[in-house]
Copies of this chain bind each other. A is one copy, B any other.
Amino acid sequence: MIMTASSPSHWSSAVSDITPEDVYVRGYSIQTLMGSLPFSAITYLIVRGQLPTPGETRMMEMILSSILDYGLQKSGTVAARAVVSVNPQMTAGLGAGVLAAGEYALSPEGAGCFISDTYKAWKQSGRPMQEASKQLVAGLHAAKRRIPGFGHPVFRGVDPRAEKLRIAAVEAGVWGETNQWYASVHEAFRTATDKPDLVLNDVGMLAGIMTQMGFTPQEMAGIAVLSTIPGLVAHISEELQSGVRNRIIPDQNVAYARARHDLAADMKARGWS
């Protein structure tokens, strides 16, 4: 509501610019980029603003391949397919699907914020890593605060997807102090909670690696969404071709209140004449 004529209408952008003959993405001609770099490298270029190394590109491929799809056990897929069962438009389904990433699934944003905030605080403190991570965990434990990126309902000791990501990051040369800090917090947490098998899960690993690579937490959320778009396109296409209309939840899966009230009597009781 509180908006006035002084609200901003001037923009600035370094992402891309256009000439009559070409488009320049971060200063590189699209016509030159086409065929020179894989899409994963171009993704890094557009978002981070600089060319990736081959190692960073391999890491981007791994990151973009690690989420992909989760059948109908993914809420965004349910939302996307429900939408196109009424409104058979690809973009409508994608619009619903991308909204279903956030606090409770699919987004490394929360873990990314935790890692970068605590990493910065540790660096400013000048204290030894192990000591600082122990104290951090003790404080969070006392305050009953959750640490994002730890735990998994099935995996114990090691989350195999997280381990693949870790190995790839080391090989690609994008493993660094941020990751060591987060691993140290993980170790301190296992000790403090006496859960030696608690894994550092795939979301946590993704967040740690992307923090080290220089992505902001919000950009991490965007890249996680990007990795799920092909699956959403596939599901929406499958739904459109299924011929099923108006997806619903069957009555046996719903506990309805099924109250019955008398409108006239209740209106009178509430003061309507």
Q: Which of A44-52, A113-121, A187-195 contacts B (4 or more CB under 8 A)?
A: A44-52
A128 interface contact, C-beta 8 A:
no
Say how far A78's CB is from chain B's closest CB, in angstroms: 4
- A75 contact set on B, CB distance < 8 A: 82-83, 85-86, 246-248
| Cβ contact within 8 Å between A34 and B161 | yes
Q: Categorize the interface residue count of chain A.
A: 35 or more
Contacts of A155 in B (CB 8 A): 21
Q: Tell me if A180 counts as interface (CB < 8 A to partner B).
A: no
Question: Which residues of chain B are within 8 angstroms of A92 by Cβ–Cβ distance?
Answer: 89, 91-92, 95, 99-100, 102
Is the Cβ of B218 less than 8 Å from the Cβ of A226?
no
B-contact bits for A21-46, CB 8 A (1 contact / 0 none)? 10111111111111111111011001
7 nearest A-B residue pairs (beta carbon):
A87-B102, A222-B233, A27-B259, A14-B257, A9-B250, A72-B249, A12-B255
24 of the cross-chain contacts (CB-CB < 8 Å) are A2-B105, A2-B201, A3-B74, A4-B18, A8-B244, A11-B254, A12-B254, A13-B255, A16-B68, A16-B71, A17-B256, A18-B71, A24-B258, A24-B260, A26-B259, A38-B40, A39-B61, A46-B69, A47-B233, A73-B249, A85-B104, A87-B107, A92-B92, A95-B96
